[in-house]
Structure 1
Amino acid sequence: MKRNDTQQARLKLWRERVIAHTQTLVAKAGHLTGRKLPLPAVHFDLRGQTAGQLRIEPGGQARIRYNAALLLRYEENFVARTVPHEVAHYAAFLCYGRRIKPHGPEWQQLVQALGGDRARCHEYDTEGLRARRTRWFAYHCRCGEHALSSIRHNRICRGTRYLCRRCGEPLRAGPALHCSTPDP
C-alpha cells in the first residue's frame, strides 16, 4: 500500500469517527436543551488554519465544516476538542438564534456540557498548511481609488452595491476588471 493510499484510508476512518461523534453530540445537545435538533450536514472542505466552522446557509440549512489536514495531524485530540466546539455553536444557534455572541455564556455552557473546553481558538500547529491569500482589486469613485478585497469584489460581481464613504458615489471596477454583471 502506498503512502498516499494509507493516508486516504486513515482520513476515511477519522472522517467516519468525526461524523459519528458529531451525531452523538447533536443528540446529547438536543437532550440537554429539550429540543429535537436535526443533524447538520458535515463536510471536510475547510482549509488553512481554521479547525472547524459552522455555516448557516441562506435557506437556514446548517453545515459544519472541518479541516481534514488538521484532523489527520491531531486525530483523537481533534475529535475531542473541535467536534464539541462546533456542535456547541450549532446547538447555540438553534436554541438562541443569531443574536448571541459566538463564544458567549450560552455557547460556553453548551460546550462544557458536551465535554469540550471553553477555549475560543485551538492551539494546533498549522505550519505548512496553505491559508487563502486575499487578493485586492482596484475600484474608483468621484473622489479617488479604493482597494477592495476579493470578498467584496465577488459580492459586487453578484450585484451588491458599495458606496464611497466620502462622496457617497457607487464604487466602480477599474478598467482591467470585468464582472459577470454590469456596473450599477
Structure 2
Amino acid sequence: MDELQRTALVRTKALLKQAGHHFGRPAPSVAINFELKGQAAGMVRFPASGKAQIRYNAILLNENADDFLKRTVPHEVAHVIARAYHGGKIRPHGTEWQSVMGFFNADPTRCHSYDISRSSTRKFRRFRYACHCCEHLLTSIRHGRILAGQRYYCRKCKNPLELVVSADK
C-alpha cells in the first residue's frame, strides 16, 4: 500500500468515525481495498452476510489525488452510512445519501469526470448488426450469445438483429 492509499484509508476511517459520533452510534465496520479496475472511481458492496466493502480504483486515485480524496472517498462512505442508518431500501443517490454528503461537506454528485483512458481495462470488439430501421454495434459478448442461439430485437421496430459485417470501434 502506497502513501496515497494510506491517506485514502485514513480519510475513509475518519469519515466513518465522524458519522458515528454525529448519529450517536458506531459506524459499521468496513473492509477497504484498492483493487477496483475500469471506469468507476469507487464502489461499495453490501454482501448478504459480513461487512460492507469499499473498493477504490488505485489508478484514478493516483491520477486525481486531491479531488478523489475530497469527492470520491466521502461519496463511497456516504453509501455505507446512509444504508447503515436508513436501511437497505433507500435509493443509492437519494435524499438520505445526499444528506450524509451534506454532513461531510461534500458535493453530492453521482459521477466523476476523471480521465479513464489509463484505467479502463476491457476493450470489446464490436460487431455490426442491422434491423429494418437502423444499425446497431454489439459487443463480442452479445455477438457470442447470438451465435449460441440467443436473439436480440430492435427496441424501435421490434425486428430481430442480423449480422451485417464486423467492425472494431
Q: Do they fold alike, i.e. is TM over 0.5?
A: yes
Q: Percent identity over the alignment?
A: 39
* 1:50 alignment counterpart: 40
TM-score scaled to structure 1, two decimals?
0.67
Q: C-alpha distance in 2, partners of 1:16/1:77? A: 16
User: Is the CA contact 1:55–1:63 (under 8 Å) kept in the aligned structure 2?
Assistant: yes
Deviations 1:119-161 (A, max 9, x none): 1101111123224357345389xxx93269xxxxxxxxxxxxx
Do the aligned residues in 2 keep the contact of 1:23 with 1:39 (CA within 8 Å)? Answer: no
Structure 1 stretch 101-110 or stretch 54-63: which is displaced more? Answer: 54-63
2:150 is equivalent to residue 146 of structure 1:
yes
Q: Is the 8 A contact 1:52 1:65 kept in 2?
A: yes
How far apart, CA to CA, are the structure 2 residues paired with 1:44 and 1:74? 14
**1:38 shift after superposition:** 2.8
Gaps spanning 5+ residues in structure 1: where? Answer: 1-10, 149-184
Task: Supply the distance in 2 between the matched residues of 1:83 and 1:39 (Cα, whole angstroms).
Answer: 16
Structure-to-structure mapping, 1:27-176, within 5 angstroms = 27-132=17-122, 133=124, 135-136=141-142, 137-138=144-145, 145-146=149-150
Alignment: residue pair count: 135
Aligned partners of 1:87, 1:122: CA distance in 2, in Å?
A: 15
Q: Please give the alpha-carbon distance, in whole angstroms, between the structure 1 residues aligned to 2:8 and 2:75.
A: 12
Distance 1:147 1:43 in 2: 39
2: CA distance between counterparts of 1:97 and 1:131?
Answer: 34
Q: How many angstroms apart in 1 are the aligned matches of 2:151 and 2:85?
A: 39
Quickly say closer, same or farther: Cα 1:138–1:90, change in 2 above 3 A: same
Q: Residues 28 and 84 of structure 2 are in contact (CA less than 8 Å); yes or no, is this contact kept in structure 1?
A: no
Q: Given the superposition, is the C-alpha separation of residues 99 and 145 from structure 1 closer, same or farther in structure 2, using an over 3 Å criterion?
A: same
**What is the DSSP-based 3-state SS (H/G/I as helix, E as strand, rest coil) of the residue aligned with 1:122?**
coil
Deviation at 1:86, TM superposition (A): 0.4
- Describe the SS at the equivalent of 1:138: helix
SS of equivalent to 1:64: strand
